[in-house]
Amino acid sequence: MTIVCIPTRGRVGNQPTYDALIETGLECVLICPPDEFKAHRGKGYNALPCPTNGITATRQWIMDNIQSRKIMMFDDDLRFAYRSLENPGRFKQCERKDHRVMLERLELLLDQVPLVGLCNRGGANNTPKKDIPVAMNKRLFDVQCIDTEWFHREGITYRQPFMEDFDVCLQAHLKGFPSAMLTTHTKDNVGGAAAGGGCSIYRTMDKQFAAAHALADLWSGFVSTREVQAKSGNEWATRTDVKVKWVEAFKAGCVLRDLLGQEQFPAPDWSEIAPEWSLF
């Protein structure tokens, strides 16, 4: 069984991710603060109250309390598109059937790789041919699909106050486990990075700065800080962010497995993930 979990806060009545995925056949549930639970249910949403505070604690609560072998965590403000087979540099907005195909492919990926994500719309037109339909060990955010048995068996945890998804990927890679990113479909934020609600309620520039440097200190050699100047023009256009050597981290994990006498994680077989792309 697979469950789609959508952490949300401060966005009652505005749930584009849930609205897009609810008709796919998979169970979708909003994970919300207790004081928003009745409001979500009153608007017809399937919801669960989460007693923790902050996105990191909420993600860990999901992993500890949702009983499912496969959990797909989606941010609550996403929209989705699919890559044109005729022109791979172009995308079309997903409709109901396309959402279902997207989730089916994410499920198939989770049968082979324990940590899976979805391609970001920005820059997706530049995805190399060799990366279609799946790219390995890339920057995953907004969507994180996890094999829960693997997560608990390997002692992976959500623990960093921000960029907690990056930290989880690095924990996996440094143990020699790869991540996979579906590139036949994409996601982006409906309201942009500065939209109200969610982490914006409590995230500040100082906290972002501290989190970036904490991640760099924790994963020295694989993470470095950088100053970002985006074109959005909002208050987050200039901020401290991180640069991560994802592939190098995974290679280091493979070396460690050799040193410990552990078998390497088997190479995935993508032949059935997206058959129409097999001859691309």
Mean pLDDT taken over the chain: 91
Whether 73 is covered by a domain: the verdict is yes
What pLDDT, in 10s, does the model give residues 117-162?
A: 999 998 888 888 778 899 999 999 999 999 999 999 999 999 998 8
Q: Express the helix, strand and coil content of the chain in percent, nearest 5 each.
A: 35, 25, 40
Tens digits of residue pLDDT in 160-213: 988 999 999 999 999 999 999 999 999 999 865 445 665 666 667 888 888 899
Residue among 175, 183, 117 at smallest CA distance from 146: 117
Tell me if residue 84 falls in helix, strand or coil: coil
- Asked whether residue 206 is domain-assigned, the answer is no
pLDDT at 237: 60
pLDDT in tens, 100-126: 999 999 999 999 999 999 999 988 888
Residue 182 lies in a domain: yes
Q: Is 230 among the domain residues?
A: no
- The fraction of the chain above a pLDDT of 70, given in percent, is 91
CATH number at residue 117: 3.90.550.10
pLDDT, position 65: 97
Q: Is 163 contained in some domain?
A: yes
Residue 211 lies in a domain: no
Domains in the chain, number:
1
Domain membership of residue 218 (yes or no) is no
Backbone angles phi, psi at 73, to 5 degrees: -100, 120
The confidence score (pLDDT) of residue 74 equals 98
Host domain of residue 157:
2-198+257-277
The predicted-structure confidence for 69-90, as pLDDT tens digits, reads as follows: 999 999 999 999 999 988 898 9
